[in-house]
Structure 1
Amino acid sequence: MNIDDVVLNFAPGSLVALNVVLGLIMFGIALDTAPSDFKAVAKAPKAMIIALAAQIVLLPAVTFGLTLLLNVQASIALGMILVACCPPGNISQVLTYRSGGNVALSVSMTAVSNVVYIFLLPISLAFWGGLHPTAGELVRAVSLNGWQMLLEIFLIIGVPFFAGLLIRARWPRFAAKVQPYARWVSLLGLVGFIAAALIGNWAIFMAFIGVVLLAVFLHDAVALGLGYASARIGGLGVRDRKAITFEVGIRNAGLGLGLVFAFFGGLGGMAVVAGWWGIWDIIAGLTVATLWARHSKRADAAAAAATAAPDAARPQGAATSEAEPTA
């Protein structure tokens, strides 16, 4: 069985539910975004420029090379490229907080990035997908309509995002109360939806689990590593590095899954990659964030102990400077 010829079973009503969940995710991000977040980016744009360059240019380019290196089938390659071209996921802020990173920067980057990706995603997917030696045939076969995809993305991302910004601006107290529920309900809904989609197509998933597991594992590791390396080379501090690591490494694979069914007819390799990415992304991100937080605590404790050591070694009552001569 060739995964490029497999189509996943997916009820039309389920696609509507997925779009609602994705819209709720964007609504939750907007409720946590203030105008000051955008102003902060304008005042200190270095971190944002690094994050955008890593996401827009480096991640798709490195993903393109990874698909050639792994020599995966066309639909799997296109699924990996699609995920790389998707905007960052909102769980990046949760992971940044858990790791001890710069949450304010994470919120700002996610807000700006999602606005940019409304227009950028169709262009990036068409360019990198069309350039691929095997996946390009799939892109041309579906006659990908960039304007239609732009409209679909705007309805899923743009409308709820701008609605959330408006509510946050006019009713900040209400937004503060609703935002935590919107964030976690949408996240749980997305995970549940992806899990249900995989279970409903379990035979297909198990038939290709080996190559998909390897591809997604390596792809996700590369994305996280690319975020960290970009921030480090850019000379950013540890807290900013953590924020950019998760901003680049965590992608909105749920949106990618929705686009697979909307524009590629539920093509097997693309759907399985996007679906598994949405689950593994969270597992890998939580693992990295937890280990990173523990490492930072140990490093801080060691630094504090090293600072305290000279004071502890000084004899009690010893003078810190020469005494003034007595008359």
Structure 2
Amino acid sequence: MNIDDVVLNFTPGSLVALNIVLGLIMFGIALDTSVDDFKAVAKAPKAMIIALVAQLVLLPAVTFALTLLLNVQASIALGMILVACCPPGNISQVLTYCSRGNVALSVSMTAVSNVVYIFVLPISLAFWGSLHPTARELMHQVSLDGWQMLADIFLIIGLPFFAGMLIRARWTRLAERVQPYARWISLLGLVGFIAAALIGNWAIFMAYIGVVLVAVFLHDAVALGLGYASARIGGLGVRDRKAITFEVGIRNSGLGLGLVFAFFGGLGGMAVVAGWWGIWDIIAGLAVASFWARHTKKRADAAATAPPGRSRGERSERIETTGSEDAE
């Protein structure tokens, strides 16, 4: 059977559970977000502009081209486009921290991006999906309701996000205590949910994973590489490059999976792509973050042998902020 004709088993109760997990993720992000984060972006908008252009314009466009190059089935192509149109995932901040990147910038970018994506996601998906030579047939079959998707995205992303920000503004200490638990519980809940969805449809997953593996691997590598290249071409320092790499490369595929079941009836190719992306994204992200952390530590250790006339601290700081002495 063609993967475009496969529908995954998914109960309405499971969809409600997924939406709760996604809402908790956004709530956790908001508990770590303040108005000052938005002000910081306004004062130094260059990094934010680079990240938004890379996410909103370049990533969907490159993904579109990649689906044509790989010549994947229509549902897989639409699944890849959907993931590319999703907002960044909250694990991007964890990975930025692990890689010794600019965590403050990552938090600010994730906050702004998620607000923007409430309105942009339905438009972007409709545009690129309808433009695709084979995936557009699937778009026509489901008669995607942009306004309904906007309402659902607002309930899943917007409402928990603004509620979390309100709590952070009024009860800062409470937010600081709750936020770490909300972040990790929601992340584990999402990973567990994706794993359960794949296990519950194991026969379908195993039948088509060979087709999806290469597509997701290349797509994820392209997304991470695009984030890094955009930041480097934009002249940003190493720590900012790390933040933007994960901001662009880590997508909220859990939201994408929820949209697959809400608007596309659990369409096989889309669901398998979104589900496997959610797992592989974490694996690839942790690998990149670990490599960067080790590399940065080696550079910092090398700074101890700084030549006369330049202090160790100055050399180390120059490496971490400007990247002018970094070979990354």
TM-score normalised according to structure 1 size: 0.94
User: SS of the residue aligned with 1:208?
Assistant: helix
* CA-based RMSD: 1.2
What letter is aligned with 1:283?
Answer: I
Q: Shift of residue 195 of structure 1? A: 0.1
Highest CA radius of gyration, 1 or 2?
A: 1
What letter is aligned with 2:283?
Answer: I
Q: Shift of residue 300 of structure 1? A: 2.1
Q: Shift of residue 51 of structure 1? A: 0.1
**For structure 2, which runs of at least 5 residues remain unmatched after alignment?**
312-328
Alpha carbons of structure 1 residues 130 and 297: separation in structure 2 relative to 1, 3 Å? same
In 2, Cα distance between equivalents of 1:264 and 1:116: 23
Q: Shift of residue 206 of structure 1? A: 0.5
What letter is aligned with 1:289?
Answer: A
In 2, Cα distance between equivalents of 1:166 and 1:310: 46
Q: Report what 2:297 is aligned to.
A: 297
Alpha carbons of structure 1 residues 17 and 310: separation in structure 2 relative to 1, 3 Å? closer
Q: Shift of residue 304 of structure 1? A: 2.6
**For structure 1, which runs of at least 5 residues remain unmatched after alignment?**
312-327
TM-score normalised according to structure 2 size: 0.93
Q: Report what 2:217 is aligned to.
A: 217
What letter is aligned with 2:77?
Answer: A
In 2, Cα distance between equivalents of 1:53 and 1:304: 38
List aligned pairs for 1:202-281, cutoff 5 A: 202-281=202-281
Q: Report what 2:125 is aligned to.
A: 125
What letter is aligned with 1:57?
Answer: V
In 2, Cα distance between equivalents of 1:205 and 1:239: 38
How high is the sequence identity, in percent, across the aligned residues? 86
In 2, Cα distance between equivalents of 1:308 and 1:274: 53
List aligned pairs for 1:21-32, cutoff 5 A: 21-32=21-32
Q: Shift of residue 297 of structure 1? A: 1.2
Q: Shift of residue 296 of structure 1? A: 1.2
CA offset digits 1:45-89 (Å, max 9, x no partner) = 000000000000000000000000000000000000000000000
In 1, Cα distance between equivalents of 2:70 and 2:309: 51
Q: Report what 2:79 is aligned to.
A: 79
In 1, Cα distance between equivalents of 2:151 and 2:237: 38
Q: Shift of residue 309 of structure 1? A: 11
Whether 1:104 aligns to 2:140 is no
In 1, Cα distance between equivalents of 2:190 and 2:209: 21
In 1, Cα distance between equivalents of 2:225 and 2:233: 12
Q: Shift of residue 299 of structure 1? A: 1.7
| Structure 1 segments (4+ residues) deviating >3 Å | 308-311
Q: Report what 1:161 is aligned to.
A: 161
In 2, Cα distance between equivalents of 1:310 and 1:287: 33
In 2, Cα distance between equivalents of 1:92 and 1:3: 31
Q: Report what 1:51 is aligned to.
A: 51
Q: Report what 1:282 is aligned to.
A: 282
Q: Shift of residue 3 of structure 1? A: 0.2
In 1, Cα distance between equivalents of 2:85 and 2:303: 40
Q: Report what 2:320 is aligned to.
A: none
In 1, Cα distance between equivalents of 2:129 and 2:175: 39
Q: Shift of residue 303 of structure 1? A: 3.0
What letter is aligned with 1:167?
Answer: I
Q: Report what 1:146 is aligned to.
A: 146
Alpha carbons of structure 1 residues 43 and 309: separation in structure 2 relative to 1, 3 Å? closer
